[in-house]
Structure 1
Amino acid sequence: MNAVEIEEAISALAEQPFDGQEFPFAFLQAFGNKETTLKRLRTGHTNNSDLNGVLQRDKIHIAVAARGEVTNTLAALKTSPATSRAKAKFILATDGDTFEAENLASEETVACAYADFPDHFGFFLPLAGITTVKQLRDSSFDIRATSRLNRLYVELLKDNPEWGTAERRPDMNHFMARLIFCFFAEDTDIFGGTRRFTTTIEQMSAKDSSNTQEVIGTLFRAMNMKGDARTAAGIPRWADQFPYVNGGLFSGSMDVPRFSRIARSYLLHIGNLDWTKINPDIFGSMIQAVAEDEERGELGMHYTSVPNILKVLNPLFLDDLRTRLDEAGDNPRVLLNLRKRMSRIRVFDPACGSGNFLVIAYKEMRAIEAEINKRRGEPEKRSELPLTNFRGIELRDFPAEIARLALIIAEYQCDVLYRGQKEALQDFLPLDAENWITCGNALRLDWLSICPPTGTGVKHIADDLFHTPLDQAQIDFANEGGETYVCGNPPFKGARKQTPEQKSDLSAIFGGGDDYKDCDYVCGWYIKGSRFLRAIQGALAFVSTSSVCEGEQVQHVWSRIFEQGCHITFAHRPFAWRNNASNNAMVTCVIVGLGQPSSSVLGVFEKDTFQACSSISPYLVPGSPQFVTSSNVPISADISEVVAGSMPRDGGHLIMSNSEKTELLSAYPQARNLVKRLAGTSELTGGVVRWCLWIEDNKLESALAVPPIRKKIDDVRAFRLASTAKTTQGYARTPHKFAQRSHKNSCAIIISATSSENREYLPADICDDNLVVSNAAYVIYGGNLFEFSILVSKLHLAWVAAVCGRMKTDFRFSKTLGWNTFPVPTLTEKNKADLTRCAEDILLARETHFPATIADLYDPEKMPANLREAHERNDEVLERIYIGRRFRNDTERLEKLFELYTKMAASSGTAKRRKAEAHA
């Protein structure tokens, strides 16, 4: 369940008569617990409460108290041994009149009347897995308002189905935007009285809703007309009391959908909310969920939290403004110059959604401006930051409209905060009619026409670089401007999830070729943004998937960016992005800042640390702009070749479970030499046991003499012949064999193709010649133990994580990108012996915990002490070979590895050229 659905369920629960016996289960159901879970709790199978309550392990302990005993009951829950044993995160007590709860980790509490507990539902959102976005948890009003608007929206579409069509959807969305403004305006005195809009509808429309549509339409027409025009139009007195608003919000079609009695009731309930609490930081994203089916289903999934937005905006330009403010002190002239500079700054989000980045940028700049005015003795001075300096592009019309509305609301709230209610009201209406949020495809639109370049020589730059003629008005506006800062959170869309239109967008940005086919959609914004930076004074920073700085995308994308003369000015290394864990959606993100070469301090953020440096590589570590390119052979002389495991391509007929293998050999013991153990990544890590038929040509006759094996071979032949792939059809000639065979009769090192992001080490193991490694893993045949030591080191995993890319959020191993490119210094015999002993210690430590699987052993919270100690020794020995000590962190590891790679790749290239010349 998402936050809106939870709010609706909790509100419905509070409106029902209190049933003490049923309340705990209804409360848990409201947070998404399934009926099977509730049934186990009801029967006591999973309920170990010692206070006649309901205890859900790892979540909450609930007890219904006797009248007046809520506080005492809550205290009993807190000291209950059962609460502690079950590791409950919350306790809750109620008697139907009073409601009290506590978050045991943070010690935050809630105490309210029972009827009011839905106001605090955000407190309990961790019960539904919504834990990482504090703004989402704390914005109870925004979620409640969204919930109510969602109900109204759905109800209106029942009676006005045509308004849900593609043709009328813009009208519906525009209508909802008008309502939102009216609800805000009536609670903030913009309409000259509390609840004037809602009260007028309640009084002037019939309870059967027969004229609700007409009443609302009349109010909207009034807000679109100035005084003289109202008389001529016959606007009634009850509507004439509303001010002229327009500003584009009340222009255009005045159509209003038909209202049922239920829809009218929903409208009045929405008006009864306290809209002074609206938070434009998040409200845009919430309201967007009302109109977008996909957003409603995944509410919070792509909401960019304020802390993450500030990770972009602070180093992009806000930190510099604050530094200049500190330097200015109380000097009036310097403060005035800073204010003038700020008035000319433009913030541009070319994928603005509902405006979160623009709203936060505006509010932060208003705070700086307010401090300037305070120091200059002008605290009530009107802001010189025009909303038109906060520009955006959004593909969909409703988010674009909501973005503009969110900025209008933010401006009013800032005026109230810094200048006072009277001054804010005086300057608020009528709204500015100019529209500074453009609706369209950002990868197809000309950014210069939306945010023209600034300073002298504008026309020359635009004509020469973009072949974009600017009219005189654009040139004049641009020459008055200052810096432009591009920011945002463009759509992530992986290469395999893009629509044909999106693929076409990328093709145009990349200039054709094939490079774009394996790139994320967000790459288009980086490349187009880097070209835009050549024409403006300013910089750029985007939130994006970490894949733009990993794997093969790096060369495709960053070669084009660096061609524009850009460099990376700052970066946040990969961090987890999880907003709604109820459907386990998580993305690993980075933030990358781009700008022109300058003398400013560059640096890399990793969690809470910042490392200053002279240059940043496209892998987001200190270093030169060096790309890692695939290699078919190891660049390090001391390590062996990795190969992919054997591919069956058999329709599953050559593969057997443990029970199938046992059944076969019980009936036909002579087949024992035709069966080998099979392992891929899941078998390696999870201990799953599978087997395969491994039939050499000289054993085919004896294999065909076993009826079940003959049947399997026939089935493989049929499967391959039925394939549409010609290569698979060709393998039908040898149906007793795996299609592609790399197996060798020797000991080997098996390497996992993927690994959980939570593991500190890449899974690998030693196997004998009786195990066939499938194509779901990699293998080094005849590998040395010191190579195993290298494979399972933190140093190697840091390299894999940086250059190989990821499978969702999991680490992905690649032989050509991850192993063959891994830079290993020349190893002495002592180095190899030391690493071999470390590898043996790791393997022996594993053996002491047999039959625990690798997944069990390498769970970071349960890793055995002796195994962790063995790995620590291994890491220390290996890292001392590189720099004579342990590395401090992964950033330092990668900095050294890239430095070494650059030298070794150049040396390897020279050696290859000499070899080619020798053979010429």
Structure 2
Amino acid sequence: MNAVEIEQAISELAEQPFDAVEFPYQFLAAFGHKETTLKRLRAGNNNPSDVAGGMLLRNHIHLAVCAPEQVGATLAALKASPATAHAKAKVKFLLATDGQTLEAEDVGSGETVACAYSDFPNHFGFLLALAGISTIKEIKDNPIDVRATGRLNKLYVELLRENPDWATDARRADMNHFMARLIFCFFAEDTGIFNGMGLFTQTIDQMTERDASNVHTVMSEIFRAMDIRAADRNAAVPRLPNYANGFPYVNGALFSGSTEVPRFTRMARTYLLHAGGLNWKKINPDIFGSMIQAVADDEERGALGMHYTSVPNILKVLNPLFLDDLQAQLESAGQDKRKLLALRRRIARIRVFDPACGSGNFLVIAYKQMRAIEAEINVRRGEPDLRSEIPLTNFRGIELRDFPAEIARLALIIAEFQCDELYRGQREALAEFLPLAKENWIVRGNALQLAWLGVCPPMGAGVKLEVDDLFDTPLDQAEIGFENEGGETYLCANPPYQGSVGQTGQQKADMAKVFAPLLNTYKDLDYVAAFALKAAQYNNKTGSASAFVTTNSVTQGEQVAMLWPLIFQERNVIHFAHTSFLWSNLASNKAAVTCVILGLTANPGSDRRLFDGEIVRAVSNLSPYLVAAPTVIVTKRSSALSAIGHMQSGNKPTDGGYLTPSTEEKDEILAINPNASRFIKRYVGSRELINGGGRWCIWVEDDDLTEAQKISVFRARFDKVRQMRLTSNGTQANENAATPHRFVFAPHSHHAAIAVPNVSSERRLYLPCELTGYDTVVSNLASVIYDAPLWNMALIASRLHLVWIATVCGKLKTDFRYSNTLGWNTFPVPLLTEQNKADLTACAEAILLAREAHFPKTIADLYDPEEMPENLRHAHEHNDETLERIYIGRKFRNDTERLERLFDLYTKMTAEAAKRAPTKKPAGRKKAASGSAQGELQ
């Protein structure tokens, strides 16, 4: 369940007659707990509560229904309960109710809620953790956004059911525009913008039939009134009805054009009145838009309420981009009125541009933060009532879909009114709010197909165009009359993350438009890379700075070598960055996306800032791997940079499955031909190395072929391999059709080998690796070093090597992706003495012995971070310390320090290697157009 579904379930529960017996089960069901869990609780199982009328669900809540006026005492009893305090209970919340009042407490924070029972849905955000949803302050403190989203969704779905033509592509924009009008009316009637609180909802309630037969007519007249100035209403044809005359002239094109309204059903009318009954004055425009954008999208409606970008995460982008600097200037100015005035003028000329703005979260937060600074300036200058000099037209955006674009514009309008009311008072806010201005701030279109300079032109280059319709602006009329001489522009966005696999046809076309003139290998880049490059181009042309949220994939692996040289050619540097963190939403138990934040500019100061969780460091340079290191890009190598073993891909069969029988097939072969056992070996890839279990392969050396062919089942399988390879489209398969008894790539040898899975879980503290012999063949789903000294295993199994490959090799989804050419061959290792090698050999032996002590546990069992045996953990820690002393004479403090040292050593070693070999021209680049490294900026 998501937050919207939970709120609806809780609201329905509060409206029902209170049932003391059923309440605990109904309450847990509302938060998404399964019927099987509730059945066990009903049966008396798994309920260790020791409080009368109590129910304790481990890892969640201890609650109790009590006698009237005993709620406070019952909550105290729950708190003092030994069952609550028991270590295995792990109780997060306490709750007591008598059906009249309700009290709850967060055990961890000590925060409490006390309210009437009927009012507890207004506090549902306090308890969201019961559904596996991280508590988010904005929702916890003010659930109106979630409640409004749920109400509007019900209304939207019901209206489309009754008006299927409004769901067609031809009319969907009309439907979305209608919803934007509704949201404005709900907000306006609760804030005094309309004359009379609740005017819109009350008018619909009083003037429409209960069967909803005339709702569309009444609402259409109200909308028509808001497009007619007061002085012109007497001449309006047809004449406005009296109930519509009470609504003010709004303009701003929100109510211009068609006033057609979809037809309502009785249920739709009820949903409308329920939505209007909420207090829309408390709407947070900075999160509401993101919550509601799924309402109008058929594919996303199943994720309703999950589209939420938290304010703290947005500020991770905006603060280091420019808000921190404004705050620092404010503090430096103190009470100096001249400096304060200069800062206010600077703020008024700042533009914020989001080329993937969605419902406007970044723009709204930026606007509200800037208004707060401006208000403080005005207070210090003794001008608290001064009208804001920050125009909404300074906040520009591009959005592909029409409804989020409309909501983004509306969110900025609402934010402006709320800021005026907060800093100047309601009277001043109301006096200046209407009529709405007609300027456009949000362009609807494909950001990767549009010229960003046209949407947000460079300083002082505003193109004066008349805009006829704020809420439906043609792309060729994106500009408004606007001058910004001497101002600054900042780009910020949370663009789409689509990986190289699974991009739509349009997304592939977008990537081609941005990259095809510059790079041959761009098809392996994530979609977000195009936004990063266009931002770098824009920065170079305009002197702006940008900051994007993106998946960490563009700062890892092969994508670094493809993308970042193009960014650096545009004279951009990384002036700040947030290392990997989780960017989650309001879905229950929904896996968060691992993201980074990249700050780019072509006009950097002397310092760069690196944010790692709560730690902020000033560094001299940031590499594209988000490490305080020189701007160096790690590329594949065919041989090892360091004096270490030769690692290669494992053995590749290309056999149609005929050389790699299943366990059942292997057993059938041996049952008929016991002598065949000498030709069957264990066959392992990533899965088998980590989880154990058997796969098998037929392995016949050339010298043994005559003997093997005496076994009929082998002859038959070899024939099928030959046929498969002859008919294959692959050159390698064709070339090996004459040797069907052999794998197409077969480096397997009689020597011991160190095998490394190509894919493994990021949860492990160390990379899995295994020592194998001749009787085990390593597949091409793993990498392998044959006849390697055992100290090589100490390198692979180290924390140093894990953080290296996690950075330079990239990941497959969230799993580590190992590469011999990119991870092992580039791994920088100091020149080792014989004593170093002996020490590391002893460490590898200790790791193997520690594993052996827990036989038959698998790598997966042994390296579970929560279950790792102490002797094995100790062996690895000793290995880490032994290796790291070779690097710096002590153990590294953290992974950041490890990476910085590795990149420093890599830089020095590659420089030395370059002196010994001729420089090769990088592959994949295209010659830049003359006059610009990247040609014409789009």
Structure 1 length-normalised TM? 0.92
Asked if residue 503 in structure 1 is aligned to residue 499 in structure 2, the reply is: no
Larger % of helix: which? 1
Pick which of 675-684 and 50-59 moved more. 50-59
Asked if residue 431 in structure 1 is aligned to residue 436 in structure 2, the reply is: yes
Structure 2 residue aligned with 1:867: 872
State the one-letter code of the partner of 2:17: P
Structure 2 residue aligned with 1:143: 146
Pick which of 200-209 and 590-599 moved more. 590-599
Structure 2 residue aligned with 1:161: 164
Q: Secondary structure at the match of 2:579?
A: strand
Post-superposition Cα deviations, 1:807-862, rounded to whole Å, max 9, x if no partner, equal: 11222111111111111111111111121122222222223333333223222233
Q: Secondary structure at the match of 2:610?
A: strand
Structure 2 residue aligned with 1:614: 620
Pick which of 139-148 and 114-123 moved more. 114-123
Query: Do the aligned residues in 2 keep the contact of 1:586 with 1:809 (CA within 8 Å)?
Result: no
Change in Cα spacing, 1:804 to 1:75, as seen in structure 2 (3 Å) is same
Structure 2 residue aligned with 1:443: 448
Q: Supply the distance in 2 between the matched residues of 1:296 and 1:452 (Cα, whole angstroms).
A: 35
Change in Cα spacing, 1:230 to 1:472, as seen in structure 2 (3 Å) is closer
Change in Cα spacing, 1:298 to 1:743, as seen in structure 2 (3 Å) is farther
Structure 2 residue aligned with 1:570: 576
* Unpaired stretches in structure 2, ≥5 consecutive residues: 465-475, 922-938
Structure 2 residue aligned with 1:181: 184
Q: Supply the distance in 1 between the matched residues of 2:692 and 2:249 (Cα, whole angstroms).
A: 72
Structure 1 residue aligned with 2:325: 320
Post-superposition Cα deviations, 1:860-900, rounded to whole Å, max 9, x if no partner, equal: 23333332222222222212222222222222222222222
Pick which of 23-32 and 312-321 moved more. 23-32
Structure 1 residue aligned with 2:631: 625
Q: Supply the distance in 1 between the matched residues of 2:123 and 2:547 (Cα, whole angstroms).
A: 36
Structure 2 residue aligned with 1:852: 857
Q: Supply the distance in 1 between the matched residues of 2:805 and 2:763 (Cα, whole angstroms).
A: 14
Q: Supply the distance in 1 between the matched residues of 2:831 and 2:497 (Cα, whole angstroms).
A: 41
Indicate which of 294, 298, 319 corresponds to 2:299: 294
Q: Secondary structure at the match of 1:202?
A: helix
Structure 2 residue aligned with 1:770: 775
Q: Supply the distance in 2 between the matched residues of 1:7 and 1:583 (Cα, whole angstroms).
A: 16
> Matches of residues 820-839 of structure 1 in structure 2 within 5 Å?
820-839=825-844
Q: Secondary structure at the match of 2:897?
A: helix
Indicate which of 270, 277, 280 corresponds to 2:282: 277
Indicate which of 513, 519, 522 corresponds to 1:516: 522
Query: Do the aligned residues in 1 keep the contact of 2:463 with 2:482 (CA within 8 Å)?
Result: no
Give 1:306 shift.
1.1
Count the aligned residue pairs.
905
Query: Do the aligned residues in 1 keep the contact of 2:285 with 2:415 (CA within 8 Å)?
Result: yes
Structure 1 residue aligned with 2:266: 261
Q: Supply the distance in 2 between the matched residues of 1:701 and 1:437 (Cα, whole angstroms).
A: 75
Query: Do the aligned residues in 2 keep the contact of 1:452 with 1:478 (CA within 8 Å)?
Result: no
Post-superposition Cα deviations, 1:454-495, rounded to whole Å, max 9, x if no partner, equal: 159999xxxxxxxxxxx9997984453500011111111111
Q: Supply the distance in 2 between the matched residues of 1:706 and 1:38 (Cα, whole angstroms).
A: 60
Asked if residue 556 in structure 1 is aligned to residue 559 in structure 2, the reply is: no
Q: Secondary structure at the match of 1:872?
A: helix
Post-superposition Cα deviations, 1:98-138, rounded to whole Å, max 9, x if no partner, equal: 33333322233333333222222222322333217544555
Change in Cα spacing, 1:664 to 1:185, as seen in structure 2 (3 Å) is same
Query: Do the aligned residues in 1 keep the contact of 2:683 with 2:778 (CA within 8 Å)?
Result: yes
Query: Do the aligned residues in 1 keep the contact of 2:462 with 2:479 (CA within 8 Å)?
Result: no
Query: Do the aligned residues in 1 keep the contact of 2:103 with 2:114 (CA within 8 Å)?
Result: yes
Q: Secondary structure at the match of 1:552?
A: helix
Indicate which of 369, 374, 378 corresponds to 2:374: 369
Q: Secondary structure at the match of 1:493?
A: coil
Q: Supply the distance in 2 between the matched residues of 1:245 and 1:457 (Cα, whole angstroms).
A: 27
Change in Cα spacing, 1:479 to 1:152, as seen in structure 2 (3 Å) is closer
Indicate which of 105, 108, 121 corresponds to 1:102: 105
Indicate which of 538, 543, 547 corresponds to 1:541: 547
Indicate which of 393, 400, 405 corresponds to 1:395: 400
State the one-letter code of the partner of 2:282: K
Q: Supply the distance in 1 between the matched residues of 2:92 and 2:483 (Cα, whole angstroms).
A: 55
Indicate which of 594, 611, 616 corresponds to 1:605: 611
Pick which of 45-54 and 112-121 moved more. 45-54
State the one-letter code of the partner of 1:130: I
State the one-letter code of the partner of 2:13: L
What percent identity do the matched residue pairs reach? 60
Q: Secondary structure at the match of 1:635?
A: coil
Structure 2 residue aligned with 1:462: none
Q: Supply the distance in 1 between the matched residues of 2:653 and 2:142 (Cα, whole angstroms).
A: 53
Q: Supply the distance in 2 between the matched residues of 1:565 and 1:271 (Cα, whole angstroms).
A: 52
Post-superposition Cα deviations, 1:343-371, rounded to whole Å, max 9, x if no partner, equal: 11111111111000001101111111011
Structure 2 residue aligned with 1:225: 228
Pick which of 99-108 and 180-189 moved more. 99-108
Q: Supply the distance in 1 between the matched residues of 2:339 and 2:423 (Cα, whole angstroms).
A: 21
Q: Secondary structure at the match of 1:33?
A: coil
Change in Cα spacing, 1:887 to 1:197, as seen in structure 2 (3 Å) is same
CA RMSD, 1 decimal:
2.9
Give 1:44 shift.
5.3
Structure 1 residue aligned with 2:756: 751
Post-superposition Cα deviations, 1:508-547, rounded to whole Å, max 9, x if no partner, equal: 1124342220111111111111111123243111111111
Q: Supply the distance in 1 between the matched residues of 2:358 and 2:340 (Cα, whole angstroms).
A: 34
Structure 2 residue aligned with 1:467: none
Give 1:291 shift.
0.8
Structure 1 residue aligned with 2:601: 595
Give 1:729 shift.
6.6
Q: Supply the distance in 1 between the matched residues of 2:661 and 2:62 (Cα, whole angstroms).
A: 46
> Matches of residues 588-737 of structure 1 in structure 2 within 5 Å?
588-636=594-642, 638-652=643-657, 654-655=659-660, 665=670, 668-697=673-702, 699=704, 727-728=732-733, 736-737=741-742
Q: Secondary structure at the match of 2:918?
A: helix
Pick which of 213-222 and 1-10 moved more. 1-10
Asked if residue 16 in structure 1 is aligned to residue 16 in structure 2, the reply is: yes
Structure 2 residue aligned with 1:405: 410
Change in Cα spacing, 1:752 to 1:65, as seen in structure 2 (3 Å) is farther
Query: Do the aligned residues in 2 keep the contact of 1:131 with 1:137 (CA within 8 Å)?
Result: no
Q: Secondary structure at the match of 1:480?
A: coil
Q: Supply the distance in 2 between the matched residues of 1:495 and 1:661 (Cα, whole angstroms).
A: 39
Query: Do the aligned residues in 2 keep the contact of 1:648 with 1:738 (CA within 8 Å)?
Result: yes
> Matches of residues 809-820 of structure 1 in structure 2 within 5 Å?
809-820=814-825
Give 1:15 shift.
2.7
Post-superposition Cα deviations, 1:47-70, rounded to whole Å, max 9, x if no partner, equal: 555557554443334444445444
Query: Do the aligned residues in 1 keep the contact of 2:760 with 2:767 (CA within 8 Å)?
Result: yes
Structure 2 residue aligned with 1:87: 90
Q: Secondary structure at the match of 2:574?
A: strand
Structure 2 residue aligned with 1:199: 202
Q: Secondary structure at the match of 2:767?
A: coil
Query: Do the aligned residues in 2 keep the contact of 1:686 with 1:853 (CA within 8 Å)?
Result: yes
Give 1:23 shift.
3.3
State the one-letter code of the partner of 1:58: N
Structure 2 residue aligned with 1:464: none
Asked if residue 170 in structure 1 is aligned to residue 170 in structure 2, the reply is: no
Structure 2 residue aligned with 1:352: 357
* Unpaired stretches in structure 1, ≥5 consecutive residues: 460-470
Structure 1 residue aligned with 2:910: 905
State the one-letter code of the partner of 1:558: W
State the one-letter code of the partner of 1:220: F
Post-superposition Cα deviations, 1:567-616, rounded to whole Å, max 9, x if no partner, equal: 11111111222335646433221111111244342121111112212221
Q: Supply the distance in 2 between the matched residues of 1:268 and 1:475 (Cα, whole angstroms).
A: 38
Q: Supply the distance in 1 between the matched residues of 2:55 and 2:736 (Cα, whole angstroms).
A: 60
State the one-letter code of the partner of 1:192: N
Q: Supply the distance in 2 between the matched residues of 1:850 and 1:62 (Cα, whole angstroms).
A: 45
Q: Supply the distance in 1 between the matched residues of 2:824 and 2:547 (Cα, whole angstroms).
A: 32
Q: Supply the distance in 1 between the matched residues of 2:352 and 2:22 (Cα, whole angstroms).
A: 53
Change in Cα spacing, 1:788 to 1:505, as seen in structure 2 (3 Å) is same
Give 1:724 shift.
6.0
> Matches of residues 18-33 of structure 1 in structure 2 within 5 Å?
18-33=18-33
Query: Do the aligned residues in 2 keep the contact of 1:145 with 1:273 (CA within 8 Å)?
Result: yes
